Structure 1
Amino acid sequence: MTNNAVEDAVEGIGRSPVNRKRFLLRLTVVASGGMFIDGYVLGIIGTVIGAITTDLNMSVYGTGLIGAAALIGIFAGGPLGGWLADEFGRKPMFALDLAVFVVGSILQFAVDSSWQLFLVRLLMGIAIGAEYSIGWPLMTEFAPARLRGRCMSFAEVAWYIGFVSAFIVGYVLALYDADWRIVLGTSTLPAVVLFLGRLGVPESPRWLMNKGRTEEAKRIADTYVEDGADHADIFSEEQRSGTFAMLFSPEVWRATTFISVFWFCTVTPYFAIATFSASVLSQYGLGEEGLLGAIGVNGVALAGVVVSCLLIDRIGRRKLTIPQQWVSAVVLVIIGFWASAPPLVVLSCFLVFAFANAMCTALTGVYPGEVLPTEVRGLGTGFATAVSRVGAGIGTFLFPWSMEELGGGTTMLVAAGICVVGAAASQVLAPETVGRTLNEISSSDKR
């Protein structure tokens, strides 16, 4: 097996006239590229928000809105993109979504007021939110069962790479006193490359079967999908129309509840702690070493996602989902109750939290596509995306207030409580899906 995560994800896939290995590699890259852009856009704003505030003479509330614009857009774009993908197909939305993002990214070069920047970032956020509910279902429906976890979890690796890359680009351009519009507009280059890479990607044969377009589904499946259980599973798809109400039907509510609660409880404490990690660590006695510790927290988080990506199809989903949430809760409880803990102990606890939390975060890109049926796979993923962004927004917005008004100890205990809720929900609702076809998973969840 190769050491490269993407190559490892597609190792052993047989060849065909279109080279199935190369196709799956391409699809993994262009689908994960959407998550790279998500991380990049959320990261790059942090490198220039000070310059934007000064240049546009914004109030503290205006600054907050600019920073939150993309998150607000993601909240709306997730369900909207999912509905469009379920209704009109993965293929057209896969390209159209990136086209919208490219337009928004280019517009950043020309904005000259705070409201224009807010609208542009909102548009880009909508496109990013749609990415989750379009790209993930498409990737899920093509990936072979034995490699599906690695193909899907690589998207989270790409997110962290995009987030870190944004800070590197912002730092380098700051050395040359680049205008903040140029810094923000750098997202255009990867977006254009990604858009071109998506041209020609075929429609999901599962979606085609679900819509009764059997001949088209057979032609695409014969060309791009391996023979065997994965190929046969496509043709056992039922022709059913999906609706929002179906997400809460007796057959699907468990899946909807699980992915929403799990995702919310995973990202809420992380976004809060990671965003303000430098100041938090300083408050716990690390002083000037707080920034270095913050870099360590985010670096360890990247390592945690990579570990899950490499192990997910070997040891299963539940082993990478449940224990890590309990570990996250325990280390936050230690910080919460041990107010006088030595700085090294506090830093160690935060690093353990970052690693454990990131390990289960990798599953947020895997479970939605696996546990939801085809007819609502996009819509359900979009709904869970929206719920997760509510958590990210709440955590980021309330964390500074909580640290000041309630204190560090109480804040950490609240974060630990959120982790406990996620762990308990996963303990009860999380299925083991490793190596199983999508219809096998859906059928077992309905029983």
Structure 2
Amino acid sequence: MTITNNELVDVDQQSVDKKRFLVKLTGVIAGGMFIDGYILGIIGTVIGAITLDLGMSLYWEGLIGASALIGIFIGGPLGGWLADKLGRKPLFTIDLLIFTVGSVLQFFVDSAWHLFLVRLLMGIAIGADYSVGWPLLAEFSPRRLRGRLMAFSEVAWYLGFMTAFVAGFLMTAVWSLDWRIVLGSSTLPAVILLLARLGMPESPRWLMNKGRTEEATEIAHTYLEDPADVLDTTSEPTRKGTFGMLFSPSYRRATIFISVFWFCVVAPYFAIATFAASVLADYGLGDGLVGALGINGLALAGVVISVILIERIGRRKLTIPQQWVCAAVLAAIGLWTSAPPVLVLIGFLVFAFANAMCTALTGVYPGEIFPTEIRGLGTGFATAFSRVGAGLGTFLLPWSMHNLGAGTTMLIAAGICVVGASVSQVLAPETMGRSLSETSAPHQR
């Protein structure tokens, strides 16, 4: 059989088109993580101004700081259930539209209640995006790059969080803009991302799971880069997912692992990073902004390292040791309350770096260890559970620092890290190099 030059050109063009699609898909999913990090980070730069302007108590300060996280708690499982039931494609656009509306509404808030409700709505949209974006990327990514591409979304999150601190400083300290404008600045990236997501295809695995074989096959051949992944898609069973499957003997270990791991990783980080300036000030580090940027900069470096290493050394080696490091560092800071400020800062920087390395895996595991019929729901449930930790940490940290002291607060954070490390040591699977059918198979847990 002779292959003509035209046929070779067509094959090459198809390969290029598939790579371009994968880059775009990764970009628009990472964009969702960027705006998530942005809205969660930007609140920390103006929370003081909001408190003064609206006359808020410590209670309201913590509640406003946690409002988006509470929304993610609601939106995660709701969006995951809808994504598994109605498809990834429609939710992928709708959640960004809701987020954009909420972002615009921030320009017009005039009370603590209004601000809480608006950011709650934005959090619901972001929670839904977690439950749609990661499953979608897992179902389109080639197995040799799946971990790296999914972990990259965490790079975007930290970039968004860090960008928020820089942008917040410029808009407040340099340009003296009203805090409503600072919060509403998230509208610009949201609109750009919304437009970029238009026209994305449905997941072939979701279509196959729903019995829409012809559509699934066509999309798989058009967009999947690896022929082995195309073949693996055809083995997708047609079955209905239920919430109870998360706690069935086949998947409860996966559910417990990712939920507890994610909870324990984000709870101390969100608390410390959201109020980094005030936390560092309590330890005698006057320039809280520089310290906050340092913490988030090291966190960004940590997650980049994980992206580089994840397909070389596997998931477990990037998940477990780092949590023990975080526990040890926070315990040292909590016990040595009279430590020189520079050592405290170094400790927080080491914590941020190690914490970010394992946080990168929170964007990888959910898409790999749950099967297609509950991939969105499983991701959403774990997202919600993790945001209980993040929300409690953000809400309670101001109270704990004020009433229990910095030392006790850091020891509590260290204890949370120990729980996460212990659970991961026992339950974390190794999924590197395996197909989704293999990583989500019941017998793997």
TM-score normalised by structure 2 residue count = 0.92
Would you say 1:226 and 2:225 are equivalent positions? yes
Rate the CA distance shift 1:243–1:183 in 2: closer, same or farther, 3 A: same
Secondary structure at the aligned position of 1:331 is classed as: helix
The range that moved more, 408-417 or 242-251, is 408-417
Rate the CA distance shift 1:229–1:187 in 2: closer, same or farther, 3 A: same
Give the RMSD, CA atoms, in angstroms: 2.0
Query: In 2, are the aligned partners of 1:150 and 1:312 still within 8 Å (CA)?
Result: yes
Displacement after TM superposition at 1:110 (Å): 3.0
The range that moved more, 213-222 or 386-395, is 386-395
Q: What one-letter code is carried by the residue in structure 2 that aligns with 1:350?
A: F
Distance 1:262 1:279 in 2: 27
Partner of 1:74 in structure 2? 72
The range that moved more, 426-435 or 100-109, is 100-109
Distance 1:289 1:44 in 2: 18
Partner of 1:217 in structure 2? 216
Query: In 1, are the aligned partners of 2:65 and 2:394 still within 8 Å (CA)?
Result: no
Rate the CA distance shift 1:221–1:287 in 2: closer, same or farther, 3 A: closer
Query: In 2, are the aligned partners of 1:107 and 1:120 still within 8 Å (CA)?
Result: yes
Displacement after TM superposition at 1:386 (Å): 0.8
Distance 2:162 2:85 in 1: 35
Displacement after TM superposition at 1:132 (Å): 0.5
1:351 corresponds, among 349, 352, 368, to: 349
Distance 1:418 1:314 in 2: 29
Which structure 1 residue ranges, 5 or more long, are not aligned? 1-12
Partner of 2:270 in structure 1? 271
Would you say 1:248 and 2:232 are equivalent positions? no
> C-alpha deviations, 1:29-77, integer Å up to 9, x for none?
0011111110111122233333434444444444443332211111100
Partner of 1:288 in structure 2? 286
Rate the CA distance shift 1:362–1:343 in 2: closer, same or farther, 3 A: same
Partner of 1:332 in structure 2? 330
Partner of 2:256 in structure 1? 257
Secondary structure at the aligned position of 1:177 is classed as: coil
Partner of 2:3 in structure 1? none
Distance 1:111 1:275 in 2: 21
Partner of 1:185 in structure 2? 184
Distance 2:340 2:66 in 1: 35
> C-alpha deviations, 1:69-103, integer Å up to 9, x for none?
21111110001000000000000110111111112
Which structure 2 residue ranges, 5 or more long, are not aligned? 1-10
- Structure-to-structure mapping, 1:311-390, within 5 angstroms: 311-390=309-388
Distance 2:321 2:271 in 1: 21
Query: In 1, are the aligned partners of 2:63 and 2:395 still within 8 Å (CA)?
Result: no
TM-score normalised by structure 1 residue count = 0.92
- Structure-to-structure mapping, 1:44-443, within 5 angstroms: 44-174=42-172, 175-284=174-283, 286-443=284-441
Partner of 2:6 in structure 1? none
Query: In 2, are the aligned partners of 1:266 and 1:419 still within 8 Å (CA)?
Result: yes
Rate the CA distance shift 1:109–1:410 in 2: closer, same or farther, 3 A: closer
Q: What one-letter code is carried by the residue in structure 2 that aligns with 1:41?
A: I
Secondary structure at the aligned position of 1:94 is classed as: helix
Distance 1:204 1:271 in 2: 32
Distance 1:30 1:207 in 2: 19
Q: What one-letter code is carried by the residue in structure 2 that aligns with 1:403?
A: M
Distance 1:120 1:413 in 2: 34
Displacement after TM superposition at 1:424 (Å): 1.1
Secondary structure at the aligned position of 1:237 is classed as: coil
Displacement after TM superposition at 1:314 (Å): 1.2
Secondary structure at the aligned position of 1:108 is classed as: helix
Distance 1:227 1:179 in 2: 50
Query: In 1, are the aligned partners of 2:65 and 2:395 still within 8 Å (CA)?
Result: no
